[in-house]
Chains A and B, each alone.
Chain A
Amino acid sequence: KAGVTQTPRYLIKTRGQQVTLSCSPISGHRSVSWYQQTPGQGLQFLFEYFSETQRNKGNFPGRFSGRQFSNSRSEMNVSTLELGDSALYLCASSLLGQYSGANVLTFGAGSRLTVL
């Protein structure tokens, strides 16, 4: 079955612009999470959505937002881009929405954002 699909894979923006990234989870997966990976901060949790509701949010400013649609596809948006927002943005989906230790996140290949 198809994996987690993220689009676009690469994009370049300038400071002050906004960007929208898209994620299509594995078919049947209803939970979608977003992570930011940077060389300095590593992999950091942004937010998680389940059944179109944000369940958890990481420690990021309000410029970072997301949503989930009824078909479980998700988008994240970053407004007023800053140089420090340059990163690899990873989406992950999982089958279960409630906590389960054994529930594994499957990651997409990521969207690499460069802010100039």
Chain B
Amino acid sequence: DQQVKQNSPSLSVQEGRISILNCDYTNSMFDYFLWYKKYPAEGPTFLISISSIKDKNEDGRFTVFLNKSAKHLSLHIVPSQPGDSAVYFCAAKMYNAGNMLTFGGGTRLMVKP
């Protein structure tokens, strides 16, 4: 039972354009959502997060949108750069579960020059 899903295993975008990565969840107890980026042979690196009481959080080129009613979040990268090419994981946590993260399966983003 996958509680966090990333339905697109890969995404290819031209440099300078917008990248939109999507994530769906089923557990309404999740109250905080995070995006991590992972390069090969490295551990995931934290990118941006959003609380369930918000619907948008922005940090430079990265914006995360949360639609609680649809149980859907998305990560927008504008403009996309070749260095953004990596695997992106969305993750969720809930109040009574310490620091436990439930991850989606990841989306491989390729930004072409």
Residues from chain A with Cβ under 8 Å of B41 in the complex: 109
> Which of B15-23, B67-75, B78-86, B97-105 sits within the interface?
B97-105
Q: Using Cβ atoms and an 8 Å threshold, which residues of chain B touch A50?
A: 98
Interface size class of A (residues with CB under 8 A): 20 to 34
Render B83-111 as a binary contact track against A, CB cut-off 8 A, 1 for contact.
00000010101011111111111100000
**Closest beta carbon of chain B to A103's beta carbon, Å:** 6
Contact B44 A42 (CB under 8 A): no
Whether the Cβ atoms of A109 and B42 lie closer than 8 Å is: yes
A90 is contacted by which of B43, B96, B106 (Cβ under 8 Å)? Answer: B43
Closest approach, in angstroms, between the C-beta of A108 and any C-beta of chain B?
5
**Residue pair A99, B98 in contact (C-beta under 8 Å):** yes
The verdict on A31 contacting chain B, using a C-beta distance below 8 Å, is yes
Interface residues of A in 84-116 (CB under 8 A from B): 90, 92, 94, 96-99, 101-110
Contact of B97 among A4, A43, A56, A108 (CB under 8 A): A56
Q: Does A24 lie at the interface of the complex (its beta carbon under 8 Å from any beta carbon of B)? A: no
Is B97 a contact of A90 with CB atoms below 8 Å? Answer: no
What CA separation (Å) do A98 and B95 show in the bound complex? 10
Once the chains are docked, how many angstroms separate the CA of A55 from the CA of B91?
19
Tell me the complex Cα distance, A45–B101, Å: 7
For B46, the chain A residues whose CB sits under 8 A away are 104-106
Please name the residue on chain A nearest to B4 by beta carbon: A42
Is A22 on the interface with B (CB-CB < 8 A)?
no
Please encode chain A, from 22 to 57, with 1 for each CB lying within 8 Å of some chain B CB and 0 for all others: 000000000101010000001111001010000110
Interface residues of A (CB under 8 A from B): 4, 31, 33, 35, 42-45, 48, 50, 55-56, 58, 90, 92, 94, 96-99, 101-110
- What are 11 contact pairs spanning A and B, CB under 8 A? A33-B101, A35-B103, A45-B101, A56-B100, A58-B100, A99-B93, A101-B32, A102-B51, A106-B46, A107-B36, A109-B41
| Cβ-closest 4 pairs across A and B | A107-B43, A101-B32, A43-B103, A42-B105
